[in-house]
Amino acid sequence: MKKKRTVLLLYIVNLILGLLYLSPLIWMVVSAFKPENRIFSDMSKGLAAFLPAEATLDNFRTVFLRSSMPKYIGNSIFYVSVLVLLSLLINSAFGYALAKFNFKGKNLILSVVLALLVLPLESILLSLFYIVNRFRWIDSYLALIIPFIVKCFDVYLFRQFFLDVPDDLIEAAQMDGANPFTTFIKVIIPISKPVFATVFILDYVAYWSDFMWPLLVITDADKRTVQLGIQTFFTEPPVYYGPIMAALAIASLPMIVLFLFLQKYYVQGISTSGIKG
């Protein structure tokens, strides 16, 4: 009986913490359906801030009238999808090599990867911009994709997962005549769905939400990402918070759907990839 009470208490605490964590998202979505004058006035009324009083779609209409939001979303989907797919392919192969191959300089390369994990992007931002500018990639998708294909955290995550793959499985594939590339494609990748899903979600959300780098390298309005598109609601008058909330809700929807479809593999990947330390 005592154990059941403890479990029930844990569920209640987790539910409360979950609601607190989701409360900003809930408020944003609810506010997207409210008239402008009700968004902040309801905040002084407690739970009324989370209730869609006088619900309207006017904010969403304004979003599509004032901006090319479908184009911005399409731009982000294109560049992020290409970037993440290339990143999965290269970083998984990199991590597999560090986990299962023995070659000269392996430990040095691994040390460099681990050292670069603590290097913040802000510390190399200007140097990276200078290089991209010299290559004349400004205002192109190359500037958004090429510099970020290799990601040290992804390499480390893949390596940790592949360390747990039995060597007997690889040796059996080699005995059947499979070369290392075939073994990786036909044997390793099919059994590695959890870590691929984990990296896919983490990278997709990170690049989808990125604002600073696209702001530096993209000036063409036709190539704006969704985050740059949302910025225009703050910088181009008139500034209304209803349309801003609607734009944020639209931009968040693809990420929510993505996580709902892949959450099963994401949880498995977190528990088996060594990310927990």
pLDDT for the residue numbered 274 = 47
Q: How far apart are CA 191 and CA 193, in angstroms?
A: 6
Given a cut of 80, is residue 43 above it in pLDDT? no
Model pLDDT, residue 276:
43
CA dihedral (130, 133, 138, 142) positive or negative: negative
Q: Which amino acid is at 44?
A: S
| Mean pLDDT along residues 154-162 | 92
* Number of neighbours of residue 112 by Cβ within 10 angstroms: 12
Average confidence score pLDDT of the chain: 86
Average pLDDT over residues 33-50: 79
Q: What is the mean pLDDT of residues 230-235?
A: 85
Domain ranges for the chain, please list them.
Answer: 1-56, 65-272
SS3 sequence, the chain?
CHHHHHHHHHHHHHHHHHHHHHHHHHHHHHHHCCCHHHHCHHHHHHHHHHCCCCCCCHHHHHHHHHCCHHHHHHHHHHHHHHHHHHHHHHHHHHHHHHHHCCCCCHHHHHHHHHHHCCCCHHHCHHHHHHHHHHCCCCCCHHHHHHHHCCCHHHHHHHHHHHCCCCHHHHHHHHHCCCCHHHHHHHHHHHHCHHHHHHHHHHHHHHHHHCCHHHHHHCCCHHHCCHHHHHHHHHHCCCCCHHHHHHHHHHHHHHHHHHHHHHHHHHHHHHHHCCCCC
Q: Exposed e or buried b for every residue in 161-192, given b needs 16+ CB within 10 A?
A: bbeebeeeebeebeeeebebeebbeebbbeeb
Query: pTM for the full model?
Result: 0.84
Q: What is the pLDDT of residues 91-141, one digit of tens each?
A: 999 999 999 888 888 889 989 998 888 888 888 888 999 999 999 999 999
175-232 pLDDT, tens digit per residue, is 888 888 889 998 899 888 888 988 998 899 899 999 999 999 998 888 999 999 988 8
Q: What CATH architecture is 65-272?
A: Orthogonal Bundle (1.10)
226/2: higher pLDDT: 226
Tokens representing 221? 């309005």
Residue 277 banded pLDDT, cuts 50, 70, 90: very low
The fraction of the chain above a pLDDT of 70, given in percent, is: 95
- Check pLDDT > 60 for residue 162: yes
Q: Under a CB-based contact definition with an 8 Å cutoff, are residues 234 and 67 in contact? A: no
